């Protein structure tokens, strides 16, 4: 049954795109919607995944920025 995976992947892609414009990933409407009613560990995982995906698209245009990105992804 591949359809649910495609739908979930598409939704996460949308969340990642929107994440670029949010300061707090857990407060994004899309993240709130998908995490509503989920256990805390699931919520934390989804929020972290969205944050890591956001930082993964950032360019390290200098050494300081590269270090900032590395720390954000490893936190």
More confident residue, 61 or 3: 61
Instruction: Determine the pLDDT at residue 51.
Output: 81
Q: By residue range, what is the domain housing residue 50?
A: 3-74
Number of domains in the chain: 1
The burial class, CB within 10 Å (0-12 / 13-18 / 19+), for 52 is middle
pLDDT digit string, tens, across residues 10-42: 666 666 555 444 447 778 888 889 999 999 999
Instruction: Report pLDDT digits (tens) over 55-69.
Output: 777 888 889 988 888
26 in Cβ contact with 47 (< 8 Å): yes
Residues 6+ apart with CB under 8 A from 54: 16, 19, 20, 25
């Amino acid at each position: 049954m591949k359809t649910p995976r495609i739908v979930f992947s598409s939704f996460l892609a949308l969340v990642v795109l929107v994440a670029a414009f949010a300061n707090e990933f857990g407060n994004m409407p899309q993240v709130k919607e998908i995490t509503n009613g989920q256990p805390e560990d699931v919520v934390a995982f989804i929020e972290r995944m969205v944050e890591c995906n956001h930082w993964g698209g950032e360019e390290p245009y200098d050494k300081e920025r590269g270090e900032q990105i590395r720390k954000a992804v490893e936190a």
